[in-house]
Structures are given as C-alpha cells and as structure tokens.
Chain A
Amino acid sequence: MRRLTFPRGGIVPPDRKHQTGRALLWNAAIPRTSIVPLLQHSGEPAIACVSRMDRVREGMLVGRAASSRSANVHAPIPGVVREIRPVVLPGGISCDAVVIDMDGEFDLLGKRAEVRDWQSCDRRTLSRLIAEHGVVDMDGSRLPMPLSYGRMDHRRCDTLILNGCESEPYLSGDHRTMVEQVSSVLTGLEIVSRVTRPSRIVIAVESNKPDAISALRTAVRSSGLESHVVRLRVRYPQGDERQLVKAVTGREIPSGGVAADVGCMTLGVTTARAVYEAVVLGIPLIERVVTVAGRAIAEEANVKVRIGTPVGDLIEECGGFRKTPMKVVMGGPMTGHTVTDLRTPITKGTRAVLALTAGEIRGARTLPCIQCGRCVTSCPMGLDPTRLYKLIEHGDLRRAASEGLQDCTECGACGYICPSRIPLVRQLRQAKIRHGDGGSGE
C-alpha cells in the first residue's frame, strides 16, 4: 500500500475530529434572514441585480458575475430583499451584501430535482453550467471554478486530483461528504474531468479516513470512473495545493505559479459535490457543509447550511455555547479568521465554525525567539519564518520578500510549533498584504 506524503516540513497536530467525523450530516434550519455577500470568491465582487423590496425566489440570481474573475451569487432562501448593505467578512474583506428576509414558497427545498443528462453535454456547456450556478473553489483558493480549470486551457492537464486530505484539525465536512455522498462527489469529479480532460485521475485521501477510502474504492469500481484512490500519510498541510501536488505527483509548483504550471489540477470534495448539484440537478450553490466544532459548542456536528446564515444562528442550532468561548473562528483552526460579530454570514468558502475554549487555544504570553529552529523545520515551503518575522519587525519588507515572504502559504505550521508563542503567521500575513500593495512594482 502506497502511503505518500510531501517531503519537507509539516506537522502532525492532534486532529480533534473524532466527534464530528463519526456523526451523520444533517440539515440546518432555514435561516429567517440570509445575508448574502457579493464577494464570496477571490476576484471581483458580483454586481447586485436585485434591489430593495424586490421579491426573490429560492436559487434566483441576486448578483451577476462582473467578469471572468467573478462569480454569480444566488438567493439561498425565497423572500424579500430588505436592504443591500456593506458587510465585513472574516479576514477583513468588505463588500456589499444582499439581505433577504424569508417569505414565500420554496422552489428547490423538498422537491425532487430534474436530473439533467449531463453525459450528452459538451465541454463548453458543462463549463457554462458550472459558472452559471455560481460554483467556486470552496475548499481553498475560492477562485471561481471556471478560472481554476481555465488556467489549464493552453496546457495539457495530465493529472486531476480530488483533494480528500482535509488535513487541518477539527474539519471533517469533506470526510462525511465522501462517506455519505460518495456517488455525487464522484459524478462531480467526472464532470470536471470531462471539462479538463486529464490523462489520469487520482483521488487522494489521508489514511485517517479509512471509511471514506473504502467508500470511494467501492464507488469507483462500480461507476467505472478511471481513477485510483491513494492513501496519504496524515500530515498538515497536505490539503494545500502545493503539498498535495508534490505528494501525489512529485512535481513542485513553481514559486508564484499555479498547479496548471505543472499540468495538475486539484478539486476539493465540497466543490466536486457543488459541481454535481449545479450540473446534474441544476441547483445553484446556495448551501454547503460546515463543520461546527470546538469545546465551547454543545453539540459538535457537520451541518448543511444555507449560504448567508448568520454564524450565531448556526451555533444556536448546534445547542449554543456549552462554555464561554475564548474566540469564534470561521475556517480551520490553522488558517481561519477570528470573528467578533456573530451575525457574520456563512459564505461559499466557510469550511468550519469553531468556538474554541481557552484550553484549546494555547494563548500563552509571547516570549523572545530562542532560535530553536522548529519553525524552519516545520515550514513546508522551505522558508525561515523566524528570520522573516525579524526582518518584518525591522521594517525590511524588501529583504523579507527576497527571502520568500510571498511564498508563504499561511498554513500556520510555524506558529503552531513555536515554543515561544510568537504570532508568526499573523505577522507574515499582514506583511504579505502590505508588500503586495506597496512593493509590487519593485
């Protein structure tokens, strides 16, 4: 049995998935009010195509993609547009959001969807369907889907990788999706492979999800999809595109490049499922699986949630807080962002909502760097985080950039491993933004 992994750096933190990884997915209640940001992807915001007091139907287009670097946004619930107001999303992104108060009938919920015969569609049609339904990469880059494979156009895509690693602690939404909805995931994968025409398909899953691996193997055999399932060693950040491509193919995405540069494309599990719903069932991207976890959550679970549901509603539905959380994080514990406003909406890219107690956050005081070198050993990108940190502290962004600041993928391994609790990732992240703004003409 092959058990591949990427060669350098990486950490193996406690995974904390036992609870949610075993429980069945369930559907969250439909929110009374849905706050639908027009920028849930990376790129340009969509342009609102509804206005105040307009009546919208479930799944109706409310934001139109502004360009190819943008994505459609749909109404997750039927109702009336109360207002269009600016919101701030985790990570400091600000954009307009369409606020919908629920009212009226559901067109999609509880109805049997019409199944499209996608096998007879050509590439172009499939690609258009994916774009129209607002599918973006929901597992990492948040790029509009057509962009992530559009980059393949001039190059041969020889390997399409289904990313079932989910190596970040707490997260288990992909895991449950692979176990419970394996055939839709595989169909989504097949659709994308029809568009990108790879010469081989690899399904990569970390070895801590044996039930997902066996479900996938069985489904692959019966569906006749030409692909093989590989088990990867459990190691963070294996779900990152660069590490995954390296682990599976041995190829290294060049600095500043994308997977397409080495003939690869990665597809997340949740995204594959969204592709399936969009193309086969004609349902736009209006809900996603979110892992709700952390010791402060009463009932940890993986929940299917409508986009735009306020974080507070979702937590309420999982039994509320059992303890006072030290902080609430949207996204994984390593890469996510702290939110202070529980009315912040779930977006297409929200993989998790974590309410962490003081015991889960090792929030000790920052001590001086003792040059132990653990951050260097843990960095999958071969950087020297402590040196970058010091360069940034001394204001030498130019030097930091020449030593690879922009190569940092913000995986958080260095900050996790640091015995002095230095906020390495926060510093590097902010410096990347500053340098990207001011020094790009360098």
Chain B
Amino acid sequence: MWIVTLCLLPGAGWGVYLYGTRAALVLAAAILSAVVFEAAAARLASRVTLRDGSAVLCGLLIGMSLSPAVPLFIPVVASAFAMFVVKWSFGGLGGNWMNPALAGRVFVAFSWPGAMTTWPAPRTLDLVDGLAGATPLSLVKATAPERAQAPIAVLRDAGYPVSAFDTEVTSWLNVNVLGRAGVNLPTGYVDLFVGNVAGSIGEASALLLLAGTIFLFARRIITWHVPAAFFVTFAVCTRVFGGLTAGLGLFEGDVLFSVLTGGFVLASFYMATDPVTSPLTGGGMLIYGSVAGIIAFVLRAYGQFPESVALAIILVNAVVPLIDRLCRPRRFGHREVRHGS
C-alpha cells in the first residue's frame, strides 16, 4: 500500500504544481479525513490498522480523482462514505467488495454534480472565459456533433488552446518518428498526455502515472492482466464504435483521446488493480478487465457522466466473486479421479 502511494506521488505533485495550493488543500483534506475515519472505524472494531497504509492510499486516490476546485467538504464526505460505508461495514481492509476510493468519488459526483464538474485551468494554460470549467472530455461530450468530427478537432474548433510545448513536441515527433511511418499526429495529444489540461488533480498526467506503474510492475504489486485487458477491450470498442456518436463511421473512433481523458490511466492501473476487489487468478483478472473495458466504453459513449471508467469498475467489482468461482483452478489429481483411471 505504501509503495502504491509512493508511485502516485509524482502525479499528485504535478497536480499540485498545475493547480496550486487549492489542489494541495483538497488532497490534504481527502487524506486526513480518510485517515481519521479509518482510525475511528478501526477503533470501533478494536483494531489498529493505520500502518497498513490503505487509508492514506484511499484518501490520496479520492483527492486525486477530484477537481481542484471542489469545496473542501466534498473530499471529506467522499472519504467518509469510502471508509464507513464501503470499507468498514464489510469488515475493513480485505473485506470490502467495492473499491472504496472509487465508490467515494462516485458518491460525491452524484450528490454534488455541479461542484464536481467545475474545472479550473492549470497555470500553464490560458483558457478563454467560455471554456473555463470544462475538461476536454466534458467539452467534447457537451458539444453536439453538428458535423462528423474527431474529438480533438472539436476541441480546436471550440478554441481550446494548445500549449507551445505541445506544438513543439508534436512537430518533433512528426518529423523524426511518426513521419517515417507515414503518420501525422495532430496537436493537442501531448498536452493530454502530460496533463497540460483542465482536469482532476491526479488523473490529468498520464505520463507521471505511467512512470509510477513501472515500479508497481517491477515490484509485482500489480500484474499486467487487468490493465492490459481493460485497455485492449476499451481501445478496440472505442476504435470500432467510438466514432458513431460523433457522426463518424465504424472504425473511426479516437483511441488515443479516449484513454488520455476521463481518468482512464489512473483508474486502470491504480484502481481496477486493487487486489481486494479484483479476481484472484490471472484468468479471472482478464475477464474482469475485459468486462470493465466494455462497460467503460458503453458508459463513456452513451452515458451522461464523465466518470464512466469509475462506474464500470464498480459495476464489475460486484461480480468478482462470480468470476472467481468461474476461474477456480483445477485441483491437482482430481481430473483422473473423476473419469476413473
């Protein structure tokens, strides 16, 4: 748990840099309240559990998935819901069937939709007034498709700015790498990748989150099964059907845009992989990730809320016991007995 927390810190630090002290306050509120509630709940169960680090991690995840502009009671309520309702009513660490951080976030998102969807601009980006308060994803979702258009083009038409850094990196990539393969990358993706956009504190920078996962993989805290299955099904669905809602044809979805927005990286590597609420075996994890990927896509494309990924994971959490039953390993020495030798 502590190691996962450590791996998240670069992403969180970047968020604090982008959005200033306000972000730090939100993170602090989330973590502190999570720790206090955990301690209180554990005390009710006459246990001391703070050392396992799960409360800090849960608070950090909640904080990172919130907008830096939320009123400070929101992270506190999210932590309370996560700790008392989701985690400790099922017996604390290891007993919960739903990811507490995700559940807390979704709970407050449904309770205070207005406050939860106000996104300040990062310090590196000048947003014109009309665009303040929207993330790239919510902007694209809110823009009625007047004509068939890829999401990144929608952003440009709406006047969403592109940083100088993005322009530079994109042109370098196009000249030196992608151009040789005959591909031309439009501007805007690099900003999404490094987190140079309006968004929640932690889910903005895919780059730093991915960097953290290297350590998670190396220490074998997470395995490839869940993120890979999640990514592949989500990407395939997006590619095949993702264009339809924007008036484009089949096979014209924008995978890159989809996985770089809406907290996909944070959710697939740090939340879906939560050992407590994911299946036990590799096979089970593949099923779990795949189902989550499909649901995430459906909710993303046709749902009302931007947190489709979070909802998808929570939904699949509910069927994990079934998946585990389905994927129980064959016991050694039992096939022969059943068929007679």
Contact present for B93 and A384 (CB under 8 Å) = no
Q: Is B52 located at the chain interface by the 8 A CB criterion?
A: yes
Contact present for B275 and A407 (CB under 8 Å) = no
**How many angstroms from the CA of A380 to the CA of B330 in the assembled complex?**
10
CB within 8 Å for A404 and B331 given contacts A254-B336, A254-B341, A371-B275: yes
Q: Is B332 located at the chain interface by the 8 A CB criterion?
A: yes
How far, in Å, is B94 (CB) from chain A's closest CB?
4
CB within 8 Å for A373 and B332 given contacts A254-B337, A367-B52, A368-B52: no
Q: How would you classify the secondary structure of chain A's contact residues: helix, strand, loop or mixed?
A: loop
Interface size counted on chain B using CB atoms at 8 A:
26
How far, in Å, is A242 (CB) from chain B's closest CB?
6
Contact present for A373 and B275 (CB under 8 Å) = yes
How far, in Å, is B45 (CB) from chain A's closest CB?
11
CB within 8 Å for A380 and B332 given contacts A367-B52, A371-B280: yes
Nearest 6 interchain pairs by C-beta: A373-B280, A372-B275, A255-B333, A382-B329, A382-B331, A368-B94
A-B contact count (CB 8 A): 77
Contact present for B275 and A370 (CB under 8 Å) = yes
**How many angstroms from the CA of A425 to the CA of B264 in the assembled complex?**
39
Contact present for A254 and B281 (CB under 8 Å) = no
**How many angstroms from the CA of A252 to the CA of B94 in the assembled complex?**
34
Which B291-341 residues sit within 8 Å CB-CB of chain A?
328-337, 341
Q: Which residue of A lies closest to B1 (CB)?
A: A370
Q: Which residue of A lies closest to B219 (CB)?
A: A419
Contact with B along A352-386 (1 / 0, CB 8 A): 00000000000000011111110011011111101
Contact present for A373 and B94 (CB under 8 Å) = no
Q: Is B247 located at the chain interface by the 8 A CB criterion?
A: no
Could you write out 22 A-B pairs with CB less than 8 Å apart? A242-B333, A254-B333, A254-B334, A254-B337, A255-B332, A255-B334, A262-B336, A262-B341, A368-B93, A370-B275, A371-B276, A372-B280, A373-B279, A373-B281, A373-B284, A380-B332, A382-B332, A383-B329, A384-B280, A386-B280, A404-B331, A407-B333
Contact present for A371 and B333 (CB under 8 Å) = no
Q: Which residue of A lies closest to B282 (CB)?
A: A377
Q: A246-B332, A368-B92, A384-B328 are in contact. List 19 more A-B contacts (CB 8 A).
A: A8-B329, A8-B332, A254-B337, A254-B341, A255-B334, A262-B336, A262-B341, A367-B93, A370-B94, A370-B275, A371-B275, A373-B279, A373-B281, A377-B280, A382-B330, A382-B334, A384-B280, A407-B331, A407-B333
Instruction: Please pick, from B94, B282, B337, the residue contacting A255 in the complex, using a CB distance under 8 A.
Output: B337
Which B48-106 residues sit within 8 Å CB-CB of chain A?
49, 52, 92-95
Instruction: Please pick, from B49, B278, B280, B341, the residue contacting A376 in the complex, using a CB distance under 8 A.
Output: B280
**How many angstroms from the CA of A255 to the CA of B332 in the assembled complex?**
7
Contacts of A376 on B, CB cut-off 8 Å? 280-281, 329
